[in-house]
Structure formats: structure tokens, C-alpha cells
Amino acid sequence: MTAIPSINIASSTGSNWLAEAQSAEQAPSGGMMGALQTTATNGADGSIKTFLANSQANADAFASIAQSSAQAAGQFYAQLAAAQGQQAAQDRAAQQAALLNPPAQTNYTPSEGLPPVVYYDNGSSLNTASNIMTMSDGSQIDVTTGLPYVDPASVIRMANGAYIDTKNNILHEPDGTTVDVNTGLPIATRPTTTT
């Protein structure tokens, strides 16, 4: 008789491998054979009727799991929709509150705007408040109309619409003709405006 060679068993219970193999053999297997084996254990008679009853119980358990999953998903989406609706309502209320009660402006620096007088290289200047440009020879032009400017303090108005520019000694007729007050001779100049 020959001796049985030693076998290296890689198991956590290597010294008790026989008991481990025996319990694995007795455990029910999966699939159809496992289901049939389960019907024959635990006091069951092993009949088709018992197998079908166990199958129905398993199907009911799976249906219950599926129904629970569907209910949980429905509850989750309902909670998600409610949370989004609440957030949208809060955002809308915050926007309306911001319109009704705007925050106070802080650290506002107004723009400088135009300087009161702009000086040019040719000696002329522009008064930005009155829109009067003073040329280097002393004549003035209303920049909004482009016509020569006459200071209203130096104007004498007449009943027929004519006026005298006392600063320059010029009579301005209503038809646009100009006359030198000192000589009485007509002057060929552009019409002037007064403000």
C-alpha cells in the first residue's frame, strides 16, 4: 500500500477542511436545483406544490422590493420638486423685496463732467455752462446756433423787434440788416442772437 501524499490546502480552516467541505455540500445551491433542494429541507415535503408556493413567495418578495423602490423614487422626486418650488418662490420673493427696498448706494463717485471753461491753443475759450465761445479777437459765438453772441446786458430792445448792441454800437433791424449806429451806414455781417 502506498501512502497518500500531503496536499497543501489554502483555507483559513486548513486543519478542518473536511468539516468545511461537508457544510458546503449541505448548503443549498442556487438556481433551479437550489430551489428544489430548499423545498425538500426544513420539514417541507419536496413537492411541486411546495416549490410553486415558495416561488410565489419569492416573486411576491421581489414585487415588494420593486414597489418599494418605485415608491422611494417617487417620494424622492416629489421632495426634489417641492424643494425646487420653494427655492423658486424664495428667489421670486427676494427679487420683489429688492425692487421694493433697494439697498443704499455706497461709495458712489459722480463723474467729473465738463470743466466750466475749456481753453484752446489758438487763444479761444469755450464756456460750457453758457455754450458761448470767445474767440481770440474778443468776438463771441453761441455754439448751439453758430451765430455771433450779444450779451443781453448790452442790448436795447425796440418796439418793432429791432435792437441795438451798445457794446459794438450796431443796430440790428428785424429783417436782418445791420447798421453802424455812429455813421448810419449798413454793415454786411451775419445776424446775431441774444439769449
Residue 80 forms part of a structural domain: yes
Residue 19 forms part of a structural domain: no
| φ, ψ at 189 (rounded to 5°) | -130, 165
- The CA distance from 193 to 1, in Å, is 143
| Confidence (pLDDT) at 83 | 92
**121 and 181 share one domain:** yes
| Confidence (pLDDT) at 68 | 86
How far does CA 99 lie from the centroid of its chain? 16
Helix, strand, or coil (residue 55): helix
**96 and 123 share one domain:** no
pLDDT along the chain (195 residues), means of 10: 54 60 59 57 66 79 85 90 92 87 76 87 91 89 86 87 86 87 80 53
**78 and 132 share one domain:** no
Domain that holds residue 87: 30-100
In total, how many domains does the chain have?
A: 2
**44 and 89 share one domain:** yes
**130 and 187 share one domain:** yes
Specify whether the CB–CB gap between 149 and 192 falls below 8 A: yes
**93 and 155 share one domain:** no
- The CA distance from 100 to 92, in Å, is 12
The last residue of one of the domains, among 68, 100, 132, is 100
Residue 4 forms part of a structural domain: no
Residue 110 forms part of a structural domain: no
